[in-house]
Amino acid sequence: MKTLTKILLFMAITGCFSTLSAQENFRVWPYLQYPDTDAMSIIWFSESALLGRVEYRELGTDLFLGVESNPELAESLAYSSWEDTTFFEGEAPSAPYKHRIRLESLMAGTTYEYRVIQGTETFYSSFCTAPDGNDSIRFIVYGDCETEPESTGNYTSWPDPVTGVSRKYLIDQTTGYRNNLEVIRSRHSDLVLIAGDLTQHGGEQRDWDEFWRHNTDSSGSTTLAGQVPVITAPGNHDYYEGNYLDGYNQPGSESAIRRYLTYFESPANHSPNKEQEGRYYHLRYGQVSIISLDLCNNGSNGSDEDTNFYLLGESDIGGGNAPDFGIGSVQYNWLESQLKEAQEKSIFTFVMFHHIPYSSGPHGFPVGEGDLLDNQSGVPTRLLTPLFLMYGVDAVFCGHDEMWERSEISGQEVLEDGTQVNYTLPFFDVGTGGDGLRGPVEGTDNIFQQFLVHTDAPEKWEGDYLIEGGKHYGHLEVEIIPVNEHTHKAILTPVYVFPIYSEEDSAYTGFERREYNDQLILSRTIADTTVGKEVLEKISMATRSYPNPFYTQTLIEYHLQESGNTKVSIWDDQGRLIRILVDRFCVAGSHSLLWEGEDGEGNRVSPGLYLYRIETESGAILWGRMICLDF
């Protein structure tokens, strides 16, 4: 993660070049795909077949290299006749031209600035290639943004956690998603992952226009997807052509998912069915493996292993190409091979797909039709859990139920030498990107639940104004940190975007980044060539630091379950001890310590990432992270 480099670069770019104000030649502004240590893809769409050009150079060098594009008509992105008639009075824009350039022979972990020239317009931005060593990595995960123009002015249902009464959320869906992306942009992450349901109707081009309106921009300093690769998994809505089109029926559903596949690029999965390329894949980024799956359907249709009764897939008569994932299927066999490879070659392995296996939401009911059943249930995806446990997957990211919930499954990882290691696998529903904010549904029984925002983040009001807590749009922030030569930490922080009420505007027009009190820290220790997993560090010692990031001082708060000797220390991101704040007997209960950003000798520390470590007499260890800013 090269946060400071990115910030300085964008300051330089925006100071030297004016931003674009018109979109005469670009239909979709340039964005990044398929990052690698030595390559990056740049994709954009234009109004005409005019050749485009990418010029790029390593940051700090003088010479720009240039590559011309070979535009191809993207017929799959044409507006439907229904959209043309309903919204454009018969004058909808024609299908755009796709430009894709794969920049190769790049240097690993290196920042490049680039510009894309299309007709009379020029777009400027930068990117970083994937690291090939032990660099720190930060990525963001969310799901279910379900973009559509109709989201503007649409306030989602927001159930009261005390009374159960349905209320309207404080801001509309468009504002909620926009604010969420603004917070994500401010974190200067290396990747952004979306766990499905990118659009409300995958077959309506207007909904895809809305998605890219949020994620790309004419300015290289404010675009998200033009600076950070967006990594995706398909959701059921991405297979859905639309209410007024063919829905999940064929060929409409395949037409919908082809729009998705036209936009995104990923490593090949080498499926014998070429139409399944891009629907599931394995991306390696530094020391991390990210495996994205397509679990939107499973044959045979209507069985207790099917995740969508409406969608016909590869093994159904008259079905499309949605892949099966059951035992013995091509995707299942591919998944097992990729999990084995990830266990051998990566320090951390994360899996992403749409249908959450363990949930207290409407898709947490068993498969079926009728009371206390669901015909788009996530329960069938549980058949993959034994594989995840066997190969030591570190966390699973999903959406679908649009409620922030974390569940845990205990099991054993089987190492290469046959050794079995006990550990706990967390499953996250991160489906609060910008659409629904659901509560639990009566009758579901998620016995694996560990944290549910609806009940574990109580709302606090002052009169008519919310000042703290509650269920909001947000995302999961994942920070991979090499603590030392042998140990790596993955810090998983649930983030929500809190609406701020403005007396002047008489509305919730402001927002700020806040964190739920459910941070998890995963550890991996490397001994020789074997990667071993420590047990998930439970945050039963509830903790946070505030403010975070901070300029001059931050308050570290923690809650001890039992009395005993407690040691609180500060470490830098290279695993060096900076200062011991306390090392003494502490009674059970809540405690707080003020750290003024100084080392043990009273010297001001440099800006950057720092860790606090809380160790109790019982042997429990908790790591938290803080960011010290320059002032």
Tell whether the model's pLDDT for residue 2 goes beyond 60.
no
Give the whole-angstrom CA distance, residue 393 versus residue 290: 10
Q: Residue ranges per domain, the chain?
A: 543-628
Q: What is the mean pLDDT of the chain?
A: 90
The string of pLDDT tens digits covering residues 314-358 is: 999 999 999 999 999 999 999 999 999 999 999 999 999 999 999
pLDDT tens, position by position, 128-149: 999 987 789 999 999 999 999 9
- Does residue 118 have a pLDDT over 80? yes
pLDDT at 434: 97
Q: What is the pLDDT of residue 535?
A: 36
Tokens of 561: 């379950």
pLDDT surpasses 90 at 621:
no
Residue 231's pLDDT is what?
A: 98
pLDDT digits (tens, 9 = 90+) for 222-281: 999 999 999 999 999 999 999 999 999 999 999 999 999 999 999 999 999 999 999 999
- Express each pLDDT in 154-202 by its tens digit: 999 999 999 999 999 999 999 999 999 999 999 999 999 999 999 999 9
Tokens 């659009």, residue located: 199
Give the pLDDT of residue 144. Answer: 98
Distances (CA, A) of 274 to 41, 236, 263, 270, 531: 20, 20, 17, 8, 34
**pLDDT at position 24:** 54
What is the dihedral sign for C-alpha 229, 234, 235, 240? Answer: positive
From the candidate CATH numbers 1.25.40.340, 3.40.50.2300, 3.40.50.170, 2.60.40.4070, the one assigned to the domain spanning 543-628: 2.60.40.4070
Tens-digit pLDDT profile for residues 425-448: 999 999 999 999 999 999 998 999
434: buried, middle or exposed (CB in 10 Å: 19+, 13-18, 0-12)?
Answer: buried
